[in-house]
Amino acid sequence: MAGGARDERSVADKLFAIADAFAAGEELTLSEVAARARLPLSTAHRLLGEWVEWGGLVRGDDGRYRLGMKLWRLGVRQPTARRLRSAALPYLEDLLESTREHVHLAVRDGLGAVYLERLSGRDAVPVISEVGSRLPLHATGVGLVLLAHAGEDVLHEVLASNPRKYLPNTLTEERELRIRLAEIRSLGLSQAVEELTRGAFSVAAPVRDASGEVVAAVSIIAHVERRGEPQFALGVRMAARGISTALGWRP
Amino acid sequence: MAGGARDERSVADKLFAIADAFAAGEELTLSEVAARARLPLSTAHRLLGEWVEWGGLVRGDDGRYRLGMKLWRLGVRQPTARRLRSAALPYLEDLLESTREHVHLAVRDGLGAVYLERLSGRDAVPVISEVGSRLPLHATGVGLVLLAHAGEDVLHEVLASNPRKYLPNTLTEERELRIRLAEIRSLGLSQAVEELTRGAFSVAAPVRDASGEVVAAVSIIAHVERRGEPQFALGVRMAARGISTALGWRP
């Protein structure tokens, strides 16, 4: 390729670096994109043009670029997200109706829990998760459930990553994490108070597919004053069981 | 570029052609991808490798390729979809609770209505829409509402596209479409029976943003026997109004 000596990165690398600049869903100017993708302005401009022509990015009237509906349509076709979400939605809706708090469905992605779905009651407690968010395994209800059913190597990676203590109740020490994960496995449920969000408690349970493997977790995040109410544990258990059955799991 | 004479398409074109091969969310073999993207096997293999390295595609144990979670996460960050969905969800949930049928949120994309969200009661009538689907403007409740508030040029394009008569009630003639669109504008509501789906009726209403422009439509698709029940028109109107207000619209 001409000019290869000046820039070793492939065209694909550069195109994907441009997409990565939009990972937070922001609207960006040409120079912001060029800076984030570490590309010369002229290269960024040309490659942005390719993205816009395809429809993956859109250029607004103000000259800023943003993710396009084409990328959204492609993303929502992702088979795992689509299959899990479609199996789970009726159960998540039941859970929402009976609690009016936040209802989550998440899968593990490396050392994070990625939120596939979130339904929220109108007066639910303020939380930072939203669809597409990736929150740490050790500090969230769904994350701890997913971690409890991941391999020993994942736990090692979490411990090696210097896990952050968001609040006094966040578990970061190996010994306390191991006790908690064993408890989650034996109860089939994670219950915690103020691990990531002040004023909130969480109840989470594992979702299994036909092979019996834990493929997702479902949770409720509710106002901490309501933590004594029995419907949270019951509802999360029933939802997790219903979704697992819909995925072909047989106990 | 070396070999440029043999294939005039840019690397970006070829990379995007590969992504387009996955538009239906299927899992594909190398040769299926090569055929759909009209690329030699070796080129398809190399570019699939670039996609997999980035995370936009994933190669399964069986050697088939599918869309990856990275693309899903990027897609759900698309600002329009995210903003509309987040403003709309509480109202869509209320509508679901009060009807237990299908609740839709859609935006116009060319001559199609793209479904941003669908919530469904467990016994709702079978329909073909799902999140990410793109259905024709002239044959759906949301589509007709969006068409009624699009420019005259969009109507011309619809008429010129030889719109398909899915069922006897599907409107395809200019005169009947114009009457129907005027009615939708004057009532602020679209009501129709068996236009796209047998056994179903639809009620749809426009969603406006702060500028007053119609940016989306909300609808219910329900069993045709329930069409006399008053809560459908009332509920859809209230939801559309609530979402518009959440988007900053002031009547």
Task: Break chain A into its structural domains and give their ranges.
Answer: 11-74, 78-246
**Min CA distance, A100 vs chain B (Å)?**
10
Q: Is the pLDDT of residue B178 over 50?
A: yes
Share the mean pLDDT of chain B.
91
pLDDT at A3: 42
d(CA B136, CA B201): 16
User: Which residue is closest to B68 within chain A, CA to CA?
Assistant: A78
CATH domain B11-74 topology: Arc Repressor Mutant, subunit A (1.10.10)
Contact criterion met (CB < 8 Å) for A72 and B78: yes
- Terminal alpha carbon distance of chain B: 57
Helix runs in chain A, H state only: 11-20, 30-37, 41-54, 69-76, 79-99, 141-148, 152-160, 174-187, 231-246
Higher per-residue confidence, B114 vs A130: B114
Residues of chain B positioned with their CB less than 8 A from the CB of A68: 78
pLDDT at B112: 92
Q: Which residues 125-184 of B have a C-beta within 8 angstroms of A? A: 130-132, 134
Per-residue buried b or exposed e for B119-136, using 16+ beta carbons within 10 Å of the residue's own CB: bbbeebbebebebbbbbb
Topology agreement, domain A11-74 and domain A78-246:
no
Quote the tokens at residue B8: 């005039």
pLDDT at B130: 81
d(CA A78, CA A181): 30
User: Which residue is closest to B3 within chain A, CA to CA?
Assistant: A1
Q: Is the pLDDT of residue A54 over 70?
A: yes
Q: Is A82 on the interface with B (CB under 8 A)?
A: yes
Distances B165 to B113, B141, B170, B190 between C-alpha atoms, Å: 17, 15, 5, 18
Mean of the pLDDT values across residues A220-225? 92
Instruction: Name the burial class of residue A88, with classes exposed (0-12), middle (13-18) and buried (19+) by CB atoms within 10 angstroms of its CB.
Output: buried
The predicted-structure confidence for B124-159, as pLDDT tens digits, reads as follows 888 777 888 889 999 999 999 999 999 899 999 999
Contact criterion met (CB < 8 Å) for B86 and A15: no
pLDDT at B2: 44
| CATH entry, A78-246, from 3.90.1150.10, 3.30.450.40, 3.30.70.370, 3.30.9.10 | 3.30.450.40
Share the mean pLDDT of chain A.
91
Q: Which residues 210-239 of A have a C-beta within 8 angstroms of B? A: none
| Interface with B, mutate which of A9, A76, A89, A123 (most B CBs under 10 A) | A76
Q: Is the pLDDT of residue B185 over 80?
A: yes
Nearest to A16 among B22, B54, B96 (CB): B54
Helix, strand, coil percentages in chain B from 3-state DSSP, rounded to 5: 45, 20, 35
Residues of chain A positioned with their CB less than 8 A from the CB of B76: 72, 75-76, 131-132
CA B216 to chain centre: 11
| Contact partners, residue B53, CB within 8 Å, separation at least 6 | none
User: Which residue is closest to B58 within chain A, CA to CA?
Assistant: A78
**Min CA distance, B176 vs chain A (Å)?**
31
Residues of chain B positioned with their CB less than 8 A from the CB of A77: 22-25, 67, 132
d(CA A22, CA A17): 9
Contact criterion met (CB < 8 Å) for B22 and A74: yes
B244 half-sphere exposure, CB direction, 13 A CA radius: 21
Q: Is the pLDDT of residue B229 over 90?
A: no
pLDDT at B5: 41
CATH domain B79-246 topology: Beta-Lactamase (3.30.450)
- Terminal alpha carbon distance of chain A: 57
Distances A142 to B97, B159, B218 between C-alpha atoms, Å: 26, 50, 32
Q: Is A198 on the interface with B (CB under 8 A)?
A: no
| Contact partners, residue A121, CB within 8 Å, separation at least 6 | A96, A99, A100, A101, A102, B90
Higher per-residue confidence, B89 vs A122: B89
Q: Is B23 on the interface with A (CB under 8 A)?
A: yes
Residues of chain A positioned with their CB less than 8 A from the CB of B10: 11, 50
The answer to whether B57 touches B67, Cβ cutoff 8 Å, is: yes
User: Which residue is closest to B9 within chain A, CA to CA?
Assistant: A50
pLDDT at B251: 83
Q: Is the pLDDT of residue A4 over 50?
A: no
What band does A195 get if pLDDT is binned at 50, 70 and 90?
A: confident
d(CA A211, CA A205): 17
pLDDT at B196: 86
Quote the tokens at residue B184: 């939708």
Q: Which residues 84-123 of A have a C-beta within 8 angstroms of B? A: 85-86, 89-90, 93, 96-97, 107, 109, 114, 119-122
Q: Which residues 25-64 of B have a C-beta within 8 angstroms of A? A: 25, 27, 47, 50-51, 54, 56
Distances A152 to A156, A157, A174 between C-alpha atoms, Å: 6, 9, 12
What band does A122 get if pLDDT is binned at 50, 70 and 90?
A: confident
